[in-house]
């Protein structure tokens, strides 16, 4: 029986960023799911957690930082890489203290993300 690898989930309200990150990850052999909001990610059909979550900080409705906190509070360990166009030191400290793996500012290089 073939073992399925969980996807990398990309949550960003900017369709150009979602598409660029999806294309980069697929070119590296990753399965990818994309979402325009935290709410859409939370409503995804698959039950198992993703291999990694690439998450924008500023999202409509529930922010990326708030989604991270909800996952932490629920005991759902997902490696998170944050992306933001408007980051601050306090924002990055909050994300990293809550367990984020990386905090990248847009525009970011493909090498930095990989």
On whether the CB atoms of residues 83 and 108 are closer than 8 A, the answer is yes
Residue 3 lies in a domain: no
Residue 46 lies in a domain: yes
Instruction: Take residue 95 and report the two structure tokens written for it.
Output: 């994300």
* Cα atoms found within 13 Å of the Cα of residue 3, Cβ hemisphere only: 2
pLDDT the model gives residue 2: 56
**Is 11's pLDDT higher than 80?**
yes
**Is 25's pLDDT higher than 80?**
yes
Residue 76 lies in a domain: yes
Average pLDDT across the chain, whole number: 91
Give the CATH number, domain containing residue 94.
3.40.50.2300
Helices and strands, counts by H and E, the chain: 5, 5
Tell me how many domains the chain contains.
1
| Each residue's pLDDT tens digit, 78-88 | 999 999 988 88
Residue 2 lies in a domain: no
Q: Which domain holds residue 86?
A: 8-113
Residue 107 lies in a domain: yes
Residue 89 lies in a domain: yes
Instruction: Take residue 69 and report the two structure tokens written for it.
Output: 């906190």
Q: d(Cα 109, Cα 46) in Å, to the nearest integer?
A: 30
Residue 75 lies in a domain: yes
| Each residue's pLDDT tens digit, 63-104 | 999 999 999 999 988 999 999 988 888 989 999 999 999 999
Encode burial over 11-46: b for 16+ CB neighbours within 10 A, e otherwise: bbbbeebbebbbebbeeeebebbbbbbbeebeeeee
């Amino acid at each position: 029986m073939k073992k399925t690898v969980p996807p990398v989930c990309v949550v960003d309200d900017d369709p150009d960023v979602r598409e660029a990150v999806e294309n980069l990850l697929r070119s590296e052999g990753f399965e990818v799911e994309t979402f325009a909001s935290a709410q859409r990610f939370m409503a995804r059909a698959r039950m198992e957690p993703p291999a990694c979550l690439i998450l924008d900080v500023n999202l409509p409705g529930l922010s990326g930082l708030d989604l991270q906190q909800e996952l932490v509070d629920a005991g759902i360990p997902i490696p998170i890489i944050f992306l933001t166009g408007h980051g601050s030191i306090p924002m990055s400290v909050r994300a990293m203290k809550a367990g984020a793996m990386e905090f990248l500012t847009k525009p970011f290089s493909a090498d930095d993300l990989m």
